Structures are given as C-alpha cells and as structure tokens.
C-alpha cells in the first residue's frame, strides 16, 4: 500500500537557521507528493506540491523536489522565521486515486 | 470566499452516545473527504463523496461510522455508540473537481471528539 515516512520531531531551530525535514514514500505507480502545514490553532493548508519526477514545488521560501530514484520529497527552507513554527505533514496521492496518505507530522519550533 | 467550516469544533460524548459532525465545504466543490486524526498522528482517510455519491468508504473503521451528503453540499459524519478509541480530530476537506490527484484539498478546522 501507500505510505509516507517523515522525520520525527520535534525540531527546534534558531531564527535564520536552515531547515530540512526528510520525507520518503512507498507507492505503486507515480504518485503526486504534497507538503501540508498546520499553524497553531489553524487547519491544515497546502504548502507545496509536485506531480511528477524531478518537479520542484516551492512556496513561502520552502522547496521540495520529487526524487523518484530515492523515493523522497524532502522539505527545505534556507532561513526560517519564528512564524514558520508549525506542524509539517508530508503526503501523497496516487495518480488514479484521490485519497491523501499522510506522514505522522513533524513539529518545528523556531526561536527568536 | 469562505473556506471549509465544521461544527461543532469540540464535542465531548459519553461512551455509548451517538454523535453527528457537520461539514460545510467550499461552495461548488464537487469532492468531499473525511479524515480521522489521532493525537500525534497524521490524518487517515475515512470516506469520499463526489457530489452526493459516496464512492469510497473503505477507511471507515467500523459499521458504527456512517457518512452522508444528501444534496451534494453539506456532509454529516455520524458515529453510533461511541467508544473511547473514537476520540480524535475529524477533518473534512473539499476540492473543486472530481477525482484528480493533483487537485488541492482544502481542509476545515476539524472537530475534536473526546469520548469519556
């Protein structure tokens, strides 16, 4: 079946530090890959996505590249801010499906 | 425009009670999803509607769980004879088109159910 494994947290960083959250997946076919973010007190929202191999999704300074050879979709940001403190979820959906399969989430805290 | 809304935001039930959770999707969205999120975990798929048709209910954990979307807009997730293991956040999401893996799912704030 489909599954997503992401780096366990919590992760604590200082402002302007570099952030990486690892995500690997198992799926048949060619899934689409997503990063969702949940800010404190808010609902899940899409951060970025990539629909085919070698695509790079980007938004709000975050980037992730769809690597089929390593079945990975790692999230990166070069300089984090306090406002990036949130829970980040990696997810996938298969090309002929619509359900999202989520990882367990990684809690990120950025300190001033 | 308005996003996905859910009510109630919090629900406390005694074991054995029935509960009903409501989802108002974004107007005009064809697809509607329910997910269950246990504490410290990612959301798990429960069921999917395309308009009023429930096309996939493979994620419903037992026959105590029932969902409907009779007019293709508002949806209700009902849990009968609640058990403690039903305690979780129930998330609703909608998307504009029918099945399409790249279509963005917009999530509501969730209903936190606590079964005592």
Nearest CA among A54, A86, A85 for reference residue A72: A54
CB atoms within 10 A of CB B21: 20
Q: Is residue A28 predicted with pLDDT exceeding 90?
A: no
| C-beta separation of A75 from A23 below 8 A | yes
Position A29 scores a pLDDT of: 81
Instruction: Answer whether residue B87 shows pLDDT above 90.
Output: yes
User: Is the pLDDT confidence value at A95 over 80?
Assistant: no
Decide if pLDDT at A81 tops 70. yes
**Mean pLDDT of all residues in chain B?**
93
Q: Å from B13 to nearest chain A CA?
A: 22
pLDDT of residue B99: 65
SS3 (DSSP) at B3: coil
pLDDT band at B21 (very low <50, low <70, confident <90, very high): very high
Q: Measuring CA to CA, how many Å separate B53 from each of A9, A109, B47, B99?
A: 39, 41, 11, 12
> How high is the pLDDT of residue A8?
85
CB B116 within 8 A of CB A54: no
User: What pLDDT score does B104 carry?
Assistant: 86
Window B:44-103, CB contacts with A under 8 Å? 44-45, 48, 56, 59, 91, 93, 95, 99-103
Q: Is the pLDDT of residue A97 over 80?
A: no
DSSP 8-state assignment for residue B99: S
Residue B103 has pLDDT above 90, yes or no: no
Q: Does the pLDDT value for residue B34 go beyond 90?
A: yes
B2 touches A at CB < 8 Å: no
How far out from the chain centre does Cα A59 lie?
11
Closest CA in chain B for residue A39: B109
Residue A82: phi and psi, rounded to 5, are: -55, -35
Cβ-contact B111, B7 below 8 angstroms: yes
CB contact (8 A) between residue B40 and residue A91? no
Residue by residue, DSSP assigns chain A as --EEEE--S-EEEETT--EEE-EEEE-SS--EEEEEEE-TTS--EEEEEE-STT-EEEETTEEEE-BTTTTB--EEESS--GGG-EEEEEEEE-TT----EE---EEEEEE-
């Amino acid at each position: 079946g489909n599954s997503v494994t992401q780096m366990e947290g919590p992760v604590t960083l200082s402002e302007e530090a570099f952030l990486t959250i690892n995500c690997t997946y198992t799926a048949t076919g060619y899934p689409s890959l997503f990063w969702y973010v949940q800010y404190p007190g808010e609902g899940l929202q899409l951060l970025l996505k990539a629909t085919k191999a070698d695509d790079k999704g980007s938004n709000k300074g975050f980037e992730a590249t769809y690597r089929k050879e390593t079945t990975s979709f790692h999230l990166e940001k070069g300089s984090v801010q306090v406002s990036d403190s949130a829970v980040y979820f990696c997810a996938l959906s298969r090309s002929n499906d619509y359900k999202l399969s989520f990882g367990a989430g990684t809690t990120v805290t950025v300190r001033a | 425009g308005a996003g996905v809304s859910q009510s109630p935001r919090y629900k406390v039930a005694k074991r054995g009670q029935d509960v009903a959770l409501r989802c108002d999707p974004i107007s005009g969205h064809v697809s509607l999803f329910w997910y269950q999120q246990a504490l410290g975990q990612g959301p798990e798929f429960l069921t999917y509607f395309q308009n009023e048709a429930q096309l996939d209910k493979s994620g419903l954990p037992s026959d105590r769980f029932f969902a409907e979307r009779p007019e293709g807009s508002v949806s209700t997730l009902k849990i009968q004879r609640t058990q403690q293991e039903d305690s979780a956040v129930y998330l609703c999401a909608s998307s504009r088109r029918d099945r399409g893996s790249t279509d963005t799912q917009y999530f509501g704030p969730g209903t936190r159910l606590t079964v005592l």
